[in-house]
Chains A and B, each alone.
Chain A
Amino acid sequence: MRYAMAIDTKKCVGCSDCVVSCQTENDVPIGYCRDWVVEVTDGTYPQLEIEIRSERCNQCDNSPCVRCCPTGASHYAEGGIVLVTPNKCIGCGACITSCPYDARYAHPDGYVDKCTFCIHRIKKGLEPACVAACPTKCMYFGDLDDPNSKVSEVLKKRKWKTLIPEAGTEPQLYFLI
C-alpha cells in the first residue's frame, strides 16, 4: 500500500479551505499550519500564467526527516505515511531543517508536527479533511498500489509533476498540470 495525493492546479482556486479544514480537524494551533497554498505568477501583463498549489508534507518515500531523527519519533506508518510520535519527540528540530519542503513546524506543546494525511480519518474509511472539504474537488487521494484508486486513475490520465524531485526524497504529492 502506498498512499498518495494528486492535486489539480487547473481547478484549484487558492481558496485555502484545505488549510482551514485541516486547522479545525486537527486542532492545529492558531498561527501554525500543516498545509498551505502557494501562488506563482509568471509573465508580464497581459501575457500571464498562474499556478496555484495546495502544499503539505509530501510523505516522501525516501525521507530525510525520518533518517535524521535521533529518537525514532519520526517514522513510516501504514501506506508510507510519515508520522511523528509526540511523546518520543524531543523537539530538537533536526527534521525541520532536513525537510526540503518546510513541511514541519514546532508545535507550541513541545513536539514537531506536520500533515498526517489525516490517518485517523483514513482508518475510518474517510478521506483526509482537506480532500473532503475542497470546494473545487481538485484533490484526489488514494492508494497508488491500487490501479483503480482515484489517485492512480487521475495520474494515468493527466500530466503531473512533483516538487523538488532533484532532492531525491521521492515525494508522494502529485500536482496535475
Chain B
Amino acid sequence: MTSRRDFIRISGLGMGGLAVGASGFGIVNNLSTSPPKGSELRIDPTRTPTYCEICFWKCAGWVYKNEEGKIWKVIGNDDDQHSNGRFCPRGTGGPGMYYDEDRLKTPLIRTEERGKQVFRKASWDEAFDHIAGKLKEIAEVHGPECVALLTHGSGGEYFSTLLKGFGSGSIAAPSYAQCRGPREVAYHMTFGEGVGSPERTDIRDTDCLVLIGSHLGENMHNGQVQEMSDAIDKGASIITVDPRYSIAASKSKYWLPIKPATDLALLLAWIHVIIYEERYDREYVEKYTYGFDQLKEHVRNMTPEWAYGITTLAPDLIRKSAKEMADAAPAVIIHPGRHVTWYGDDTQRSRAMAILNALLGSWGRRGGFYNPETVEIPSWPHPPYPTPQRTWKDAYPDKYNLAFETLASGICDATIPELSEACNFKGWIVNGTNLLKTIPDSRKVIEAIQNLDLLVVVDTMPMAITGWADVVLPECTYLERYDTIRDSPHRKPAIALRMPAAEPMYDSKPAYWMAKELSKRLGLKDYFSWNSIEEMLDWQFKQVGTSLEEMKRIGVKTFERSYDDLYFQQGEDVEFYTNTGKIELYSTSLAAEGFDPLPVYTPHEEPPEGFYRLNYGRAPAHTFGRTANNALLKDIMEENTVWINPKVAGIWGIENGQYVYLENQDGVRSSFPIRARVTERIRWDSVYMVHGFGHTNKLLSRAYGKGASDSELITKVHVDPIMGGTGMRGNFVTFKFEPAKTEAES
C-alpha cells in the first residue's frame, strides 16, 4: 500500500549528516546554555522534592544536583500517581527553564507608552509601592472589586488570597473559558460532577478508549499517556475521531477521519445505534438515569446514514465502532477531552459524550470513570474575606448562569467600557499566563489593556503580555521556590511538596513572598500572618498527619481512601448531584435556562473557496508557548509547521519545507512565516499547526520569530451561549508568500 513515504526526524535536530526527511530540519544550533557539566560518575547526588510546573499535570519528582551543587536533572517520584516515576519530556527538560538566560531578572516599571516595551529596572520596594499606590487609587475611585486576577500557575493561590482580602472575587484561569469549561459544565449537567484534573478516566483498566479529537501522546498528559500505553499492552482497543491522522489514530483499531466540525452528528448517530440496536446497559440506564425515553425519541432519525452525509464517515464504520465500544462496556471511556472550546456548541458536544458514557454504564465503573478522592488541606487561619460589591458576573446579567468558574474572556470583555458598564475592571494582576496568546483575538485583549489603570504581570519569562505591563515582577522558577501543597484528586488521596532546589537566580522571587509584601502595603497583612512559608506549610502538613520534615524526605504522601467507593458497587443506590438526583440524559438545568435539554446538531460555517479550517494542537515537547525558549526543549522542536495535504500543496505549488505565511478570513496575516509540512496525515479541508510558537517578544532569544502563532489567526470566536467558552476552531486560513505590509508601507 506504500504510495508515498514521509520520513521525518521528529527530534534530535543537531545530528549532522543524515537525510532528515524532505524538509531538511537538520540545523545545528550551538548555543551556550547547556546545563553545567558534571563528571561521568555521580556519587550520591543530593535530591529535593518538587512537583512539576511545566504543565497542569503537576507530576511529583526529584531534583538532582551534580557534585558542584548545581541543578542537574529532574526525575519522577516513584510513589506519585501523576507520574509513576516518569516525567514527560517537558518535565525532564525542566532545568532548561531554570538556566534560561532570558529570564526576567529584576522588577521593571514601564517608562513609555504601553506595548513599547520600554521599562526601567526597579527595586522590589519601588515596584510594590507603585502597585499598592495604584491599587488603593482604584479601590477608592472604582471599588476594590474592579481589580481582577488572571492566573495559570501555582503562585496564583497567594495572589488570590491577596485579592479576596482586598475585596475582589474576580479571579479567573483561562483554562476554564478557553479550555475545559464546556466539558466541566456538561458533566455537571449530566452526572452532577465535573471531570476534574487529572481526569478521572480509568484508562489503565479500560477495554476501549474513544478519543474525539483528543491527541493523547501528542498532548503529554503524563498519567493518561502512561495508562494508554498500559491499556495497549493489555489489548484494549482505541477508537479515534480526528480529521488528522494523529499518533493516537495510528494506534487505533478504528480511525474515523471525520470532516471537521461535525463531531456532534457522529455522536448522535452513535447514540442512535446504541439505543436502537439495544446495545446500552439496560440495568444501569433504568436504575440511574433520567430522560431515556426523550433521548430515544430525540435520536430516532439520527441514523448512521444521516450522519454519513454530514461527517463523510461510512455508516458501516459508525456501526462497527459503536459495537466495539458497546462490547467493551462498561470498561469503555468516551474520553471527555480537555481543550474542548472549538465551535461554540461545545457544552452540547461534551453533553453528547457524557450521554454516551451514561448509556454504556461507564461512569463509576472499572475501566470507565472512577471516583477520585482528595486530601482536604485547611488554609492557614485568616480573617473572613469581605464580600465583593460586584463581580465579573454583574457584567453579564442574563448570561452564562451555568458557568461556575470565572471567565477570563469575560473579565477581558468587561474591561472594555463600551462592552460593559456594570463592572468595569481597572486593574489586572496576571500570573503565569500569556493572555495575548491564551485569550483568542489579541486585538481585543490589547484594547482591554489600554483601558486599565494598572497591569501587573508576574512571570518567569518575558512574554508578549509582559511587554504591555505597567509593572513586571520576576517570579523565580518552580525549581527555586516553595509553593502551595499539591492536593489534586486521584485514585488515592495524596499530597506533594514543592521546595526550592536552589536559591532564586537573579533578583527573582517566589509569589508567596510578593503577595505577603504587597499585603503589608495594603493593610491586609492579617491574611498572611505566618512568619515564614515553612511555618505555614508545616502547619498545614500537620493538620493532615505529616510534617514539612517528613515531606522533604518523601516528596509525596499517599493516603488510603476513606471509603471503598472507587467504583459503584453492583446494584448500589447512588444519588447524583443533579436536580433529579439521577444521571440526566435529559438535562433539566439546561431546559430551565432555555437551552436544548438534549444535544442538537447544527451545521457550522464551512471554509470559503481557497481557505482551509485552522486546526491546532499540542506537541509532546512543549506546553503552550511557555517552553518555546527552553534550550533543552527547543532542541527537540524549535518551530511549528503547518500541515498541508499533498493535494492542497499541489494546487498552491507549495513544497515540503517551504516557508509560507497564513492569512485568515479577516485578513490577519501571520507575523512570521511558517514551514509547510506536506503530509498525508491531514485532510484536504483543513490545516494543522502546533500551538505556542511565533513569539513576538524579542527578548526570547531562542523563540522569537520561530514558527507562527495560531492564536494570532483566531480572530473569529464562537462563544458558547451556555457557559461563555470561546470556540476557536471556526477560523479559516489561506496561503500567502509575502509578509503583510507594515503600516508605513501601505
Contact = CB atoms under 8 A, between A and B. Distances in A.
A33 B11 contact: yes
A138 interface: yes
26 contacts: A11-B251, A13-B620, A16-B637, A17-B88, A19-B12, A19-B635, A20-B92, A23-B635, A24-B72, A24-B632, A25-B73, A27-B38, A30-B34, A31-B13, A31-B28, A37-B11, A41-B7, A41-B681, A45-B682, A45-B684, A46-B245, A50-B250, A132-B86, A133-B87, A133-B92, A137-B86
A135 to B, nearest CB: 5
Interface string A15-43: 11101110111011111110111111111
Given A13-B225, A31-B28, A45-B257, 15 more contacts: A14-B11, A15-B217, A15-B225, A30-B30, A30-B635, A32-B14, A36-B15, A37-B11, A45-B645, A50-B681, A102-B15, A133-B86, A134-B86, A135-B222, A136-B217
B30 A108 contact: yes
Contacts of B74: 24
Interface string B445-465: 000000000000000000000
A20 B12 contact: no
A147 B349 CA distance: 51
B95 A24 contact: yes
Task: State the majority secondary structure of interface residues on B.
Answer: loop
Interface stretch (B226-234, B506-514, B716-724): B226-234
A17 B632 CA distance: 11
A48 B680 contact: yes
B592 interface: no
Contact of A14 (B18, B34, B620): B620
Contact of B11 (A16, A32, A47, A138): A16
The number of chain A residues touching the other chain, given as a range, is 35 or more
B225 to A, nearest CB: 5
Contact of B680 (A29, A45, A96, A102): A45
A111 interface: no
B541 to A, nearest CB: 29
B41 A120 contact: yes
B632 A30 contact: yes
A17 B92 CA distance: 7
A84 interface: no
A50 B2 CA distance: 11
Contact of A20 (B8, B34, B255, B633): B633
Contacts of A48: 245, 250, 680-681
Contacts of A25: 73
A138 B229 CA distance: 8
B225 A135 contact: yes
B333 interface: no
Interface string B318-334: 00000000000000000
A137 B226 contact: yes
A104 B426 CA distance: 58
Nearest to B247: A13
A42 B12 CA distance: 22
Contacts of B572: none
B150 to A, nearest CB: 30
A137 to B, nearest CB: 6
B379 interface: no
Interface of B: 1-18, 28-38, 40-42, 72-76, 85-89, 92-93, 95, 216-218, 220, 222, 225-226, 228-230, 232-233, 245, 247, 250-251, 255, 257, 620-621, 631-633, 635-637, 645, 679-684
A52 interface: yes
B621 A36 contact: no
Contact of B10 (A17, A29, A39, A105): A39
A31 B11 CA distance: 11
A70 to B, nearest CB: 20
Contact of A40 (B7, B30, B95, B217): B7
Contacts of B36: 27
A55 to B, nearest CB: 8
Contacts of A14: 10-11, 217, 247, 620
A52 B7 CA distance: 10
Contacts of B681: 41, 45, 48, 50
Nearest to A99: B17
A35 B220 CA distance: 20
A87 interface: no
A16 B245 contact: no
Contacts of B18: 102
A10 interface: yes
Contacts of B245: 41, 45-46, 48, 50
Nearest to B679: A41
A49 interface: yes
Contacts of B6: 40-42
Contacts of B230: 137
Contacts of A37: 9-12
A105 B18 CA distance: 11
Contact of A11 (B8, B72, B233): B233
- Which of A14, A134, A138 has the most B CB atoms < 10 Å from its CB? A14
B16 to A, nearest CB: 7
A52 to B, nearest CB: 7
Nearest to A17: B89
